[in-house]
Structure 1
Amino acid sequence: YRLTATEYKEKEKRKHEDLFANHRDRFGCLLISLRHTILQALEFYHLVRDERSGLLQRILIVKKFTNRTVTT
């Protein structure tokens, strides 16, 4: 059984659509995992930043306290 030109075109079109759908799904998964990684990195950055600002605040408090004790 040989395909007619129209059937062949349809078959090719379907094959390309399937291929495109497959690529689209893989790309979607890639984007999702990339987004997840970025979110994790941001979360880590904020944690580190909060830690550092907390540490700086503690240092300033200690400095103020030691300066006060030294001057009096």
Structure 2
Amino acid sequence: MTDHVLTATNLHFAYQSKGESLTILSGTDLALARGETVAVVGASGTGKSTLLHILAGLDTPQQGEITLCG
């Protein structure tokens, strides 16, 4: 079994804009193993910063779970 230092499961996040919901993350999963190097890449507006904000605890997902070191 891999020793994960961070696990994100089924993350969902949406912004409200002009009375409409803009889905940014929908069912996103991520698992980072100890010693692993990763990069978050993608086109503008695809949720990279939102994902990092959630992982850092700056934003709260509407659904899903984040586990650190366990």
Please say whether Structure 1 and Structure 2 have the same fold, judged by a TM-score greater than 0.5: no
Pick 1 or 2: higher relative contact order, CA cutoff 8 A, min separation 6. 2
Provide the TM-score with structure 2 as the length reference.
Answer: 0.20
Structure label with greater radius of gyration: 1
When you count helix as a share of all residues, which structure comes out higher? Answer: 1
Provide the TM-score with structure 1 as the length reference.
Answer: 0.20
